[in-house]
Amino acid sequence: MSKLVRDYMHPGLITCKPEATLGQVAVMLNQHHVHGLIVADRDGRPLGIITDFDLLAGEWLSADRQSLDVMRRMTAGELMSTPIDTVEADAPVGEAARIMRTKVIRRVLVTEKGKPVGVISVSDIVASIGEGYQLNRQTVGDVMSDAILVCRDKTPVENAARAMTSAGWRSVLVVNPTGKPLGVVSGLDLLDYCGQENCDELTVSEIMHPALTITMSATIQEAAELMIAQHHHRLIVIDPDHPDEVPVGIISSFDIVAEMARPGSVWQ
């Protein structure tokens, strides 16, 4: 029997008001350890969604002090994405994966007879892999991304954030002069420093978190289980014979969802 969206969704909604400032949104994302909030009106009706990536674009792509001040006066209602993509709770979980892949989004509002009942995200779908379901393609090397966004350890945080938002990546790999992986800077890492006066003085090595690594020959299930256990969205793929050299790729939770959404996948 195929698994349904309701089997993996997060019931209930974590919401913010349309008039919430971007600073308030950042606090809520950090407190709840989530990547996105549903923007809802006073009656609880969803209006849109705002994510950590929206905040990064607002904070780090402002070209000058005046435009930065404008962005900091913006509200969740002004920056949110709308309309929200939805999926029925009784739909196969593969349908949620297909929507995320097609729309290039990381979360979908779950409804039951049209009424919002929860949210399902890329991370929730990845968790389903850890239960032992086998995909047609078995290894990390089959689905990983060969391209990696990389910066040196002395790179200013602001420069790394600009590169992430310009390239549409949610993380950057930090390496030393010889290419050895030192850590990863993600959108959540940047949230803690969003708006601080001394953020332009920080380097990526000061805010990065340790990189989790895996090999190309590891199974997708092993990758999913490691992501779930460590609460990470991406793993650095290394050559086990040369672990201190430049990594060979990266696998993210979204790569696994893309495999699930692929025509011919057991999830379809």
Would you state the structure tokens that stand for residue 27, as one six-digit string?
Answer: 């606090």
Residues 174 and 65 occupy one common structural domain: no
Same domain assignment for residues 80 and 119: yes
Instruction: Count other Cβ atoms within 10 Å, centred on residue 11.
Output: 10
* Residue 147: inside a domain: yes
The DSSP line for 232-251 is -SEEEEE-TTSTTS--SEEE
Kindly state whether residue 258 falls inside one of the protein's structural domains: no
Q: State whether 166 and 248 are in the same domain.
A: yes
* Total count of domains within the chain: 2
Residue entry with tokens 């593969």: 94
* Parent domain of 150: 140-252
pLDDT band at 63 (very low <50, low <70, confident <90, very high): low
Percent of the chain beyond pLDDT 70? 81
CATH number at residue 18: 3.10.580.10
64 and 40 in one domain? yes
If pLDDT is split at 50, 70 and 90, which confidence band does 259 have?
low
pTM above 0.85, yes or no: no
Name the domain boundary from 100, 129, 158.
129
Structure tokens at 102: 């097609």
Contact 46, 38 (CB under 8 A): yes
Q: Are 235 and 213 in contact (CB under 8 A)?
A: yes
Is 168 a member of any domain? yes
Domain boundary among 110, 129, 148: 129
Asked whether residue 135 is assigned to any structural domain, the reply reads no
Last residue of a domain, one of 105, 129, 153: 129
Q: Are residues 148 and 109 in the same domain?
A: no
pLDDT band, very low/low/confident/very high, at 60 (cuts 50, 70, 90): very low
